[in-house]
């Protein structure tokens, strides 16, 4: 029974070899010594440099990053079609999920599935897909709110039982920080944008 320690040629990882067969290996990512069965194998037969746990974590992170990019891309595309601002980034979406922390940003209720909503609807063409206008809500809230602004939604019958004022204040605080202004100024800014959108609609209807 002969044991030897050697390094892999490319990644320089230590392996424990027994009678010519690798039995243990140091994971490139976590640095732990693990049984060779704890590593995925390539089709050629040799094992991956990262253990199964680390490889799976990397895959989940990669998939999550792709998801964030798609959300930003899709919402920016929708904004461009309306001629509205389209500056939402992958980082903006990541921070949005971190802030939401599993809760609807309007109702404050825990939800497993989020949908992206715009505080001021894209169809109003003013705020678009920007870090200060995009929120995450439950499918139920998104369905009820539709194309209403947050103020229109708050006044409507469909909002009953769906708005938590404490949560909404937190959401306004967060969105205001994206513009670097106070929450009070942010709310005033939203109201001004609503008025501008209303006037624009009236002007277009006359032409």
Query: Could you tell me if 93 and 17 lie in one domain?
Result: no
**Does 97 map to a domain?**
yes
Number of domains comprising the chain: 2
- Domain annotation covers residue 162: yes
Rounded to two decimals, the pTM is 0.70
Verify that 45 and 128 share a domain, yes or no: no
Look at 181 and 200; give whichever has higher pLDDT: 181
The angle at the Cα of 118, spanning 189 to 93, to the nearest 5 degrees, equals 105
Pair 112, 160 in one domain: yes
128 closest CA partner among 98, 162, 85: 85
In a domain, 184, yes or no: yes
pLDDT one-digit tens code per residue, 83-117: 999 999 999 999 999 999 889 999 999 988 889 99
Pairing status of strand 39-41 against strand 115-118: unpaired
Average pLDDT over residues 23-51: 87
Residue 72 lies in a domain: no
Whether the CB-CB separation of 7 and 17 falls below 8 Å is answered with no
Cα(141)–Cα(160) distance, integer angstroms: 10
Does any domain span residue 170? Answer: yes
List the domain range (segments joined by +) for residue 116: 82-206
Tens digits of residue pLDDT in 58-68 = 877 877 878 99
- Confirm whether 109 is domain-assigned: yes
- Provide the pLDDT for residue 162: 95
């Amino acid at each position: 029974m002969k044991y030897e320690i050697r390094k892999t040629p490319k990644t320089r990882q230590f392996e424990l070899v027994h009678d010519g067969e690798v039995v243990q290996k140091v994971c490139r990512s976590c640095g732990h010594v693990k049984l060779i069965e704890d590593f995925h194998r390539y089709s050629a037969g040799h094992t991956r440099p990262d253990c199964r746990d680390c490889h799976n974590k990397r895959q989940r992170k990669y998939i999550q990053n792709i998801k964030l990019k798609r959300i930003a891309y899709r919402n920016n595309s929708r904004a461009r079609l309306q001629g509205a601002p389209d500056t939402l980034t992958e980082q903006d979406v990541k921070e949005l999920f971190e802030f939401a922390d599993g809760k609807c940003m309007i109702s404050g209720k825990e939800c497993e599935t989020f949908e992206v909503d715009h505080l001021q609807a894209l169809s109003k063409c003013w705020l678009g897909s920007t870090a200060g206008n995009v929120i995450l809500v439950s499918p139920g809230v998104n369905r009820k709110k539709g194309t209403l602004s947050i103020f229109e939604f708050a006044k409507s019958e469909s909002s009953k039982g769906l708005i938590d004022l404490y949560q909404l204040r937190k959401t306004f605080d967060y969105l205001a920080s994206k513009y670097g202004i106070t929450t009070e100024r942010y709310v005033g800014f939203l109201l001004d944008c609503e008025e501008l959108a209303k006037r624009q609609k009236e002007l277009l209807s006359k032409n």
